[in-house]
């Protein structure tokens, strides 16, 4: 995929607005997704080394707090070559004054963009206020580029705009799933019914086999006449049309708690191992169990180990899936680990994202 790249621009002395995804806090306020931070560092170091004045912009979802200050503090304690001055609030005059005093290679971070109502509304006025802070815009937040927000789409109409190193890699690697080696196995879990069924629809022609697990499988199992108790599922889906397709595989057994399905069972694990052993290319998004409940992450761990042991080319994504694999110490054993969850699914379903199209129009 050809995109305007940060690799090809002169940034010395320029004010560069970098949209990252530092939505990495736990509800306790502690950093919980170091991987996502680490993957942005090459672009930040490239810009710093080129003499840019770097202005980092990011969001934080409401359940994770209101301030990005802990992220800036994490950088200043642990990534000292990229120390950050944090700016509270959206006093545009004060922000411009601080940027005006920056030296080449210095970095500031603005406060949580979603504290301003203009961000999610893709407000033209908010996009303009952001754009006035910089000379160049770099999108290094592939993982939020499925959202047409001001800092993802609106700003590209006002500044020369480029893809960061990670953004480019995410787009190009995920695009390889449309022309994969065969046999190609797609594994989908988790609970985002709508977005994942869109992926199933697109890949019924491309994939050789599709395993559906996690809460996503509940509706399929119910349509087969199996008892799922109070397990959640989307009742608006016509599951029968999928059940007739021989490419689709479902859990052979499940583990339950209080009548609800919480994980795949041992027979399902063996089925998955056999599917993985046959595959030459695997895309996996979403855990196979309710990993927030103790003892119900085993199916997800079994799949992770099987993929690593097989040595197959693999692309994985989804925050919950990546969290389990990170805790297992296996992240570096997969061919590619995406920082995206919803954006990965939307890209696989549609072949593009609003953030990608915004950069293309600027190219």
Q: Which of 239, 220, 218 is nearest to 230 (CA)?
A: 218
pLDDT of residue 30: 87
Average pLDDT over residues 40-67: 95
Following DSSP, what letter does each residue of 163-194 receive, concatenated?
E-HHHHHHHHHHHGGGS--SSEEEEE-SS-HH
Instruction: Yes or no: say if 337 and 303 are a contact pair by the CB < 8 Å rule.
Output: no
pLDDT tens digit sequence for 122-181:
999 999 999 999 999 999 999 999 999 999 999 999 999 999 999 999 999 999 999 999
User: What does 199-248 look like in DSSP terms, one character per residue?
Assistant: HHHHHTTT-SEEEE-GGGGHHHHHHTT---TT----TTS-THHHHT-TTE
The answer to whether the CB of 43 falls within 8 A of the CB of 18 is: yes
Q: Structure pTM?
A: 0.94
Q: Of all helices (H) and strands (E), which one includes residue 249?
A: strand 248-249
Specify the pairing of strand 107-109 against strand 136-139: unpaired
> Predicted confidence band at 63 (pLDDT cuts at 50, 70, 90)?
confident
Q: Are 238 and 289 in contact, with CB atoms under 8 Å apart?
A: no
Only one residue has tokens 């592939």, namely 142
Q: How far is CA 270 from the centre of its chain?
A: 29
Which of the residue ranges 141-145, 153-157, 189-193, 334-338 would you say has the lowest mean pLDDT? 189-193
Q: What pLDDT score was predicted for residue 64?
A: 85
Residue 315: both structure tokens together: 């692309």
Task: Look at residue 294 in the predicted model and tell me its pLDDT.
Answer: 85
Rounded mean pLDDT, 193-202:
86
Q: Check residue 109 and give its pLDDT.
A: 98
Radius of gyration, alpha carbons of the chain? 22
pLDDT of residue 299: 94
pLDDT, one tens digit per residue, over 68-116 is: 999 999 999 999 999 999 999 999 999 999 999 999 999 999 999 999 9
- pLDDT for 32: 86
Q: What tens digit of pLDDT does each residue of 211-261 get? A: 999 999 999 999 999 999 999 999 999 999 999 999 999 999 999 999 899
Q: How far apart are CA 360 and CA 43, in angstroms?
A: 19
Tell me how many degrees the CA angle 147-152-157 measures, rounded to the nearest 5: 125
> With 80 as the cut, is the pLDDT of residue 362 above it?
no
pLDDT digits (tens, 9 = 90+) for 260-316: 999 999 999 999 999 999 999 999 999 999 988 888 999 999 999 999 999 999 999
Determine the pLDDT at residue 196: 87
Instruction: Kindly tell me if the per-residue pLDDT of 26 is higher than 90.
Output: no
Whether the predicted pLDDT of 363 surpasses 80: no
Domains of the chain, CATH where assigned: 6-171+354-361 (3.40.50.1260), 179-329 (3.40.50.1260)
Cβ 249 vs Cβ 288: under 8 Å: no
Q: For the chain, percent helix, then strand, then coil, each to nearest 5? A: 45, 15, 40
- Least-confidence region, from 141-150, 204-213, 354-363: 354-363
- Nearest Cα to Cα of residue 248 among 205, 282, 279, 303: 205
pLDDT value, residue 62? 86
């Amino acid at each position: 995929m050809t995109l305007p790249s940060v690799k090809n621009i002169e940034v010395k002395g320029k004010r560069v607005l970098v949209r990252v995804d530092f939505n990495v806090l736990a509800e306790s306020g502690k950093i919980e997704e170091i991987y996502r931070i680490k993957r942005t560092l090459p672009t930040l170091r490239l810009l710093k080394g080129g003499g840019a004045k770097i202005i980092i912009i990011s969001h934080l979802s409401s359940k994770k707090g209101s301030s990005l200050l802990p992220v800036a503090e994490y950088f200043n304690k642990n990534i000292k070559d990229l120390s950050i001055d944090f700016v509270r609030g959206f006093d545009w005059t004060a922000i411009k004054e601080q940027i005006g005093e920056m030296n080449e290679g210095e970095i500031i971070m603005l406060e949580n963009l979603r504290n301003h109502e203009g961000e999610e509304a893709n407000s033209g006025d908010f996009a303009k206020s952001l754009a006035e802070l910089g000379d160049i815009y770099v999108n290094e937040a592939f993982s939020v580029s499925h959202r047409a927000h001001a800092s993802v789409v609106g700003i590209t109409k006002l500044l020369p705009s480029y893809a960061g190193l990670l953004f480019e890699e995410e787009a190009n690697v995920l695009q390889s799933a449309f022309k994969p080696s065969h046999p190609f196995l797609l594994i989908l879990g988790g609970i985002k019914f709508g977005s994942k069924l869109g992926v199933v629809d697109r890949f019924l022609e491309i994939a050789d086999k599709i395993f559906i697990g996690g809460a996503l499988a509940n509706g399929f199992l119910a349509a087969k006449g199996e008892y799922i108790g109070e397990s959640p599922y989307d009742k608006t889906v016509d599951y029968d049309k999928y059940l007739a397709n021989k490419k689709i595989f479902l859990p052979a057994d499940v583990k339950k708690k209080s009548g609800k399905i919480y994980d795949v069972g041992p027979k399902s694990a063996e089925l998955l191992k056999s599917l993985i052993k046959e595959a030459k290319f695997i895309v996996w998004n979403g855990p196979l169990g309710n990993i927030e409940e103790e003892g119900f992450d085993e199916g997800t761990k079994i799949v992770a180990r099987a993929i690593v042991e097989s040595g197959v080319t693999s692309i994985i994504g989804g925050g919950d899936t990546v969290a389990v694999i990170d805790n297992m110490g296996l992240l570096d054993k997969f061919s590619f680990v995406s920082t995206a969850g919803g954006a990965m699914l939307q890209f696989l379903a549609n072949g593009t994202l609003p953030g990608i199209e915004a950069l293309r129009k600027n190219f």
